[in-house]
Structure formats: C-alpha cells, structure tokens
Structure 1
C-alpha cells in the first residue's frame, strides 16, 4: 500500500498556503474509502442534517452551478459511475443495491456531495471580504459548521497560528481576489487523530495512552490529510472549496515503499512546529513521545508494529 498524499514528506511546509495547479481530471478523487465514506455521508445527512449542511437562501443558483460541475466531471468516469438516470449517476453497492440516485427535492449542494467523497464549501464576496455562505460538511477536521457559518475568512481562521496576524491571511485574500474562472488549485495539510471516525466537529483530544512513546503506540493513531481545492464559479463568482479526507493508520506507513523516510520526515515536521502550531494541532503534550515512536519506525523499516 502506498499513501496517496504525503504533505509531511518535506516537499511542503506546515501552515503555508502551498497552492498548486491541478487539472479537471484530477479535481475529484476516488479511492478505497469511496463506499465507506459515501455511506457515512448518507448516515450523517439522515441523522444530523443541521450539523452538516447550512446555506443562505440566496445561494440556490450557486449550488446548482456546483452540482452541474460535479456531474460534468463524473460523466468522464464511467469506471466509478457506470449507471445514470435523469442526467444523474445512480450509485449501487457491490451487491447491486441502489444506494443513491439523486433527488430534485433537496438542496443541490447536498445532492452533489452525496455522489463524491469530497465535502463542499461555498465562499461569497462581500464588502468585508469572503464569507462562508453554504456548505455540506460531513467530515470536518475539528471545526463546527454551525460555529463558522456566515463568518469571514478572518473569523473562520481566528485560531489558526499566523493566519490573521501574519502573511498567510494576506496571501489568501489576494488569491481569492485574483482567482480566475477556469483556474483550479489544490493544497494539503495534515493532522494526527486517535480514532477512525471521519466526522470531527469538536476540538481534537488525543488519548493519553500514546504518551509512552513506544512503537506499538502508533498502532492507535491515524494520519489525516486534507486535500483542498478551490475554483471560482463562472456564474455566481463564488469560490468553491472541496475538501477530501485521507484518514489512514500510521502503522500502514510501514507498508509504503517510502515508509521509513516518511516516518522520519513526519517526525521532522512535528519537531519543527512552533508552540502555537503544536497547540492548534492538539499535539503539545504528545510531541516528544510521537517523535520518539516515529524515530523507531524510521529505524525499523518494514517491521510490523506489535
């Protein structure tokens, strides 16, 4: 097994914008977690709709733009979406049972989100800057849509180190201002969790058991990588964020051909975080123990974790 995205490999710096261009065919991703993630979305939309979906009433047209873009992209992926009805894919599980076929009665952003692993967030321009106008967010990484809905970029990133006080917020504002229709950009970040659950609307709190620093302690941890893309919608001018979660057990690094090197580079990035950055990632009391365990993983190469 090889990890698809490894922003901790030394090629990117944590807490940096790090945008890079991607093509339309790479905009949306499908991986081994396709069916489990779509099933989890269906559960959350059925049981916790107000938690995972919020939208201003005047975003209907922009939501339909998003749905049209998603459907156009999926049309070119018959290996994943072979069956269509009424202009929308019909998702069937491995037993042939229909899981979802689209619905004209729900918000377009919700429908679009049901077909793909990515979450979808709409940012709209105002005199005070861009603000969160709509989102279908099933897999947040320790933030609440209810808390952030309607907030500006400044408010959304209030607790992100150096975003508002440093250059990062200024760089993002310029990117938003200058982003052209047709441009498609991506960026990545990483975090560490101790549960396989994807839905994390509350602040992260790792289990104290990882403090022993043993190699075996990594067996309970997951590397969570967010792949974010952004593009400007051609009609509304809103900016669409997609957020794809890759949530893999750390021990599987040892099955990656680059595993030892990746464990070492993750350790270096961990040790290079400032106090504020460590606190934001919820890793302050765990840094040294994690660094020690990652060092042992780098040294043992392909040996299995006990």
Structure 2
C-alpha cells in the first residue's frame, strides 16, 4: 500500500469514527434525560420517602441531624400540582400571614432563589427551564408560569418566586448583633400552630419557647450546629406531628394549620388522624453566608401507616410525659389512635399465627 493509499485509508477510518460518535450523542443525551421525570411522569412519582417513626420508649428532644441527600435537596412528586394550587391560593388570600421578608434579607433571598432555580433545572430539566442574561427567566412547564428576576429587577420577591416553584417551604436564617440566628425571611405556607406574620424577626431560641424541654436538651447543640454549618456540609432532619381533621376538610384546610393541629372532631376515625411529617433541610449559602432552611410536609393518615410504624407510634405516644402529651394534643386523638394500633396489632399477630400453622 503506497503513501497516498495509507493517508486515504486513515482519513476514511477517522470519518467513520467521527460519524459513529456523532450518531451516538443524541442517544446518550436522550438516555440522560430519560432519568429525569417529565411532566407526565411526575403524576406517577411517589413522594420522597419520609423517615420512619422510630418507636423510642423514652421521650427526649433530639436534633437527629444527618448528611443531606444533596441529589434530593428539593423534591417533586405526584402531589405537586394539588399542593401548587394550595400554595397559589395562600399567596393570593393569606400572603402577609405566610410570607414575610425583612429588608436586610433581600440578597440572601435572591441567592436562595438562584440556588433553587439552578437545582430544579438540573434535576428536573423537562419541567423547569431557564434563560440567563442580564436577567434570569425561569419557566415551569407543569404550571405554565414564567418568572423573571435578577439584574436591575428588584420589584419582585425572590422568596415568593422560589416557593411558587418548590414543594418545600423556605426560610432565611441570619445572625443578629448578639450572634444569634433569627428568622430574617420566611415563606411558611404550611405552618403548624403559628404564622410568619407573628414570628418574623424572632430568634431560633424564641421560636422554640413553646416546645417542652427544647431549651434544656438541645438549645446549645442547635446553636453550635448552625454555627458550624458550611456550604460543603448541608444537613437534614425529620420530625412529625399528629393532627386531627374533619371528614369534610379539603387539602387547603389540612395543610394550612396556623392555629391548631386539631379540628372540631371529638370522635375521629383512623382516616381522620393524620401523621404530619416534616423533612427539614439546612444549607449555608456560599455568597451571603446565610442559611436557607427548607421544610417539606408529608401527610399520612393513621390507617395508611405500615404495621411497624403503627406499633412504633403507639410506643412513643405512651412514652410522652403528661405535659408533652398536652402540648402535642394527645387528649384529642390519643385514645382513638392507641385503640386502632392495638386492634391492628392483634389482627396482625393472628394472621401471623395462621400463616405459621399453614
């Protein structure tokens, strides 16, 4: 084979390799995108798994923090649109009660929004799309909404845009002159027994005044935890409440609980007793150094709990001192919940015995 033939053959091989590589790119890209749910897929997505009830036999206030699952800092699931309707209604009818931002929090709120948009567009690219220039435009394919922010545009509330995109409530924690963290901005749309309008500006310590044993058992640990949090060490934790709803309540009324966990239902059925869990996330923002605190609410009725969690719940209810039970509303739902747990456990044990005999 002469020199010209060798060169021609080499060029042919190179073209063949390039052609095959270029053909493979769309496939690889499609495979990558297929990992992310589209608008239709979300309707089938189960919620991010809630931490199970552990069944502690001795009551104690605990931080129970763990490393954040960074790939799921913010979540999207089949309940997105239903909850989005509730969030939109709250921001229209109860805005002052559910969102407040002190003037000094603007830069932190804007940074939090930038982090939210970047995360959602990377994690769910079929749902959220952004265009960046002197201003940023974010479009939500699920709701059809488009928001513009950044640059010289300061007439929009960054935190409001953020919680119109997310399923999580978001708050900004900043330090005051006494080196204490306080609630500088908050969009808490699904609160339990309080409103942002009442508590904006409160320190973390003051916010937890009503919680039994909080100051004695975890106040110092919480202060140290917040001080040590870095952008590279985001954390999360979980907790739960028990609430009672009326049979005719809709999702808006169940999620928005600014006054009490218990509605007027003196004889609640198992499906009227709701386990309300919160997945709480903590991230230090790199530019402003403030902390963005997220809360995702997950609802499960008593009759939907798996057996192990039902038994663990009964253990914990029985472990609460009287003053803790009073704080948690046990006198309203406690007897009914324990009765249901006991009956379900008995049936479960009977079924196990029958299976053993077979």
| TM-score, scaled relative to structure 2 | 0.74
Q: Is the 8 A contact 1:54 1:135 kept in 2?
A: yes
- Report the equivalent of 2:50: 5
- Report the equivalent of 1:50: 96
Give distance in 2, aligned partners of 1:162 and 1:119.
26
User: Within the alignment, does 1:236 sit opposite 2:288 as a pair?
Assistant: yes
- Report the equivalent of 1:110: 160
Q: CA-to-partner distance for each residue in 1:183-227, whole Å, 9 max, x for gaps?
A: 1111111111223421111122242113xxxxxx21212111011
Q: How does 1:217-236 map to 2 (within 5 A)?
A: 217-236=269-288
RMSD: 2.4
2:236 to 181, 186, 194: 186
Give 1:83 shift. 4.3
Q: How does 1:1-306 map to 2 (within 5 A)?
A: 4-10=49-55, 15-78=61-124, 81-84=127-130, 87-93=136-142, 98=144, 100-104=145-149, 105-128=155-178, 129-164=180-215, 166-195=216-245, 196=251, 197-206=254-263, 207-210=265-268, 217-253=269-305, 259-301=306-348
* Secondary structure at the counterpart of residue 117 of structure 1: coil
Q: CA-to-partner distance for each residue in 1:237-257, whole Å, 9 max, x for gaps?
A: 21111000001222222xxxx
Q: CA-to-partner distance for each residue in 1:151-189, whole Å, 9 max, x for gaps?
A: 11111001001112x121111011011111221111111
Give distance in 2, aligned partners of 1:266 and 1:182.
35
Give distance in 1, aligned partners of 2:137 and 2:204.
33
- Find the structure with the greater CA-based Rg: 2
Query: Compared with structure 1, are the counterparts of its residues 35 and 281 closer, same or farther at alpha carbon in structure 2 (3 Å cutoff)?
Result: same
Give distance in 2, aligned partners of 1:268 and 1:289.
14
Give 1:3 shift. 8.4
Query: Where in structure 1 are there 5+ consecutive unaligned residues?
Result: 211-216, 254-258
* Secondary structure at the counterpart of residue 237 of structure 2: strand
Q: Is the 8 A contact 1:145 1:201 kept in 2?
A: no
Q: Is the 8 A contact 1:189 1:226 kept in 2?
A: yes
Q: Is the 8 A contact 2:302 2:337 kept in 1?
A: no
Query: Compared with structure 1, are the counterparts of its residues 82 and 204 closer, same or farther at alpha carbon in structure 2 (3 Å cutoff)?
Result: closer
Give 1:74 shift. 0.7
Query: Compared with structure 1, are the counterparts of its residues 47 and 14 closer, same or farther at alpha carbon in structure 2 (3 Å cutoff)?
Result: farther
Give distance in 1, aligned partners of 2:121 and 2:60.
35
Query: Where in structure 2 are there 5+ consecutive unaligned residues?
Result: 1-45, 150-154, 246-250, 350-358
Q: Is the 8 A contact 2:171 2:188 kept in 1?
A: yes
